[in-house]
Chains A and B, each alone.
Chain A
C-alpha cells in the first residue's frame, strides 16, 4: 500500500522531546462513489461482535456488496500542516526489549521502515480496539536481535478467522487498513478516514477481503 510519510520533527532539549509518527494515506477507492441522488441504504446490522466466524463475515461482506452505499458523506478535512520527514526511528521490541535503530533513505521515499516504526504505537492501539480478538500484528522483523539480517523489515497483519484453516498474513498494512477493518467489523456502511472524510464501505470490499482472506 502506498504511504505518504508525514512525521514530526523532534526537538530534544534535556528531558523534553516531541514525538513522531507518520500519517498514512488512505487506501485509494477502486471505484468512485455514487452521487447524492442514490436511495438511502438499508440499515446494516450493528452488533459487530457477533462476527465470530468466517460464515458470519462472509454474510456481512455479501450484505455490504448488495447494499446501496450511504449518500450523506462528509468531505475530508485538511487539519494538519505539512510535517518534516523523520531521519531515523528507534524500535523497541515488545518481546525482548532490545532497541533497533533505522535510518530513512536520503530522499525519504524509503521503503518506509522509519514511517512504519513511528506508526507502530498507533497500529497497536488500533489492534487493541478491534471488536474481534483474532487479529494481531507481527512486528518481529523490526527487531534486529530477534530477526537479524533483514534489510527491509515488514509489518504483517495476522488474521485468524475462526473456522479458517490457515491464518491470513498481509504485509504493508497501515493504520487506515485497521480503521477500515474496525469500522467494517463494527457494522458501519461507510468508512471515515483519518482526516474525517467519508466514503461508502462498499468500495473498499476488495481491500477488506484481501486483509481478512474471506470472500463473500
Chain B
C-alpha cells in the first residue's frame, strides 16, 4: 500500500474539519444484475416480482472507472464490489485494477486529532464463489483485496442456492488461504440452515476463512417469496450463541451484518461476534446499482439519483431520512433503548411493512 501525507486542510492535525464530501466513506458497487445462482434468500431488489425496480442499462467499464476516480476525490476510502454476481461483470478485472491504481484521502483519528493521508482505497470483493478462478485470486493477492464468499449451509447449500456445491466454495477458501488472500465467509442464516450453522462456520474457518460475516435472512428481492426462511425471535439467540461458540473455539472473529433490535439482543454477551443495533445506511456506506443509481443500502428498493447528479443525493428526502436517523418505528418511540437502537433493519422493515419506520419483520413476524 502506498501511503503519503497530504497537504491541505488536514496537513496539520485538527480536532474537526469538513469531510471531503457528504458521502459515506464506503461505496458498495453493484457491478451487474447478472447472477449464476438463484438463492432463495437473495435480497437484490431487481429480483423481486412486481416492485417496479427495473433493470436499466448497466454502466460500462469506462463509466465505472470514471466514477471510481471521482469518488476517490470525494473521500471514498473503501469499495466493495458486489452484484448480482460481480464476477459475471465483463471487465471487472479492469475496473478493480483501476480502483487499485487510485489514491484517496483517509481521515483518521490519532491521539485526539484528525490526520489525513493518501493511499489506495481498501477493496472488497463479494462473490458466491461459483465463478471463482485463479486469476481473481491473483488479483486479490496483488491488491490486498478482501475476498468474501457465500456459504449458506452445507447439507442445505444446494437447496438454498438452487443446486450449488458447498465444496466448491470451501475449495476456494483453501486456495485463497494458500495464496495469502484475506477472506470472509458470508453466511445468511435461515430457518432451514440454522441447525447446521455450527458446522457451516466451522468448515469455512477450517478451510481458511479469516472472518465471519453473518446475516439473518431478511425478506427482499427473490427472498420475498420465501418468507418461511425468516428466523423467529427464539432463533436469534441460538444463531448468535452458535456463532460465538465456533468463533471462540477457533479464536476467530466475526460480525452480524444486519442490525438487530436491541430489545432482542444483548450484544455485550458476545466477545468474538460483533452485534450491531444501529443502522449505518447513508452514514457509513451507500450503494450504487448496476445502472449507476444511488441507494442508501443494498436492501433498499429506492433509487435516489443517478451518479451523474450525485450532488442531488445530499438533500434528497429519502437520503436525509437515513442521515438524520428519522425512521424510528412508532412502537419504539417510548423505548429507553432508542439511544442505542434503530429498531432493527429499516430497509427490511420498509420492504415488508411498506414504510421505513415500519416494524422490523422479525418483530412483526
Binding site for B on A (CB under 8 A): 8, 10-21, 23, 80-81, 87-88, 90, 92, 94, 96-107, 113, 119, 121-122, 124-125, 129, 144-145, 151, 153, 175, 194, 196
B248 CB, min distance to chain A CBs, angstroms: 16
Task: Give which listed residue, B26, B280, B285, B333, contacts A129 with CB less than 8 A.
Answer: B333
Q: Which of A15, A92, A94 has the most CB of B within 10 A?
A: A15
Task: Give which listed residue, A87, A104, A122, contacts B339 with CB less than 8 A.
Answer: A122
12 contacts between A and B (CB under 8 A): A11-B274, A11-B276, A16-B257, A19-B340, A87-B109, A88-B109, A92-B323, A97-B22, A101-B17, A101-B107, A103-B112, A106-B112
Closest to B213 in A: A13
Across the interface, which residues of B come within 8 angstroms of A80, CB to CB? 268
Contact with A along B253-269 (1 / 0, CB 8 A): 00111110000000110
B339 CB, min distance to chain A CBs, angstroms: 4
Evaluate whether A106 and B111 lie within 8 angstroms (CB atoms) in the complex, with A23-B339, A90-B19 already known. Answer: yes
A19 to B283, CA, bound (A): 10
Closest to B75 in A: A99
Contact between chains at A18 and B275 (CB < 8 Å)? yes
Evaluate whether A175 and B255 lie within 8 angstroms (CB atoms) in the complex, with A14-B124, A18-B275, A105-B15 already known. Answer: no
Across the interface, which residues of A come within 8 angstroms of B126, CB to CB? 14
Q: How many residues of B sit at the interface, in one of the four size bands?
A: 35 or more
Across the interface, which residues of A come within 8 angstroms of B276, CB to CB? 11, 16-19
A9 to B201, CA, bound (A): 24
Which B residues from 231 to 263 make CB contacts under 8 A with A?
255-259
Across the interface, which residues of A come within 8 angstroms of B334, CB to CB? 129
Which of B60-68, B87-95, B128-136, B324-332 lines the interface with chain A?
A: B324-332
B76 CB, min distance to chain A CBs, angstroms: 12
Looking at chain A's contact residues, the main secondary structure is loop
The answer to whether B364 has its CB under 8 Å from any CB of chain A is: no
Contact between chains at B111 and A124 (CB < 8 Å)? no
Closest to A196 in B: B336
Contact between chains at B268 and A100 (CB < 8 Å)? no
A10 to B283, CA, bound (A): 13
A213 to B189, CA, bound (A): 54
B176 CB, min distance to chain A CBs, angstroms: 16
Task: Give which listed residue, B19, B148, B267, B323, contacts A14 with CB less than 8 A.
Answer: B148
The answer to whether B315 has its CB under 8 Å from any CB of chain A is: yes
Across the interface, which residues of B come within 8 angstroms of A121, CB to CB? 324-325, 339
A97 to B318, CA, bound (A): 12
The answer to whether B288 has its CB under 8 Å from any CB of chain A is: no
A129 to B330, CA, bound (A): 10
A94 to B22, CA, bound (A): 11
Across the interface, which residues of A come within 8 angstroms of B216, CB to CB? none
Task: Give which listed residue, B146, B314, B333, contacts A97 with CB less than 8 A.
Answer: B314
The answer to whether B170 has its CB under 8 Å from any CB of chain A is: no
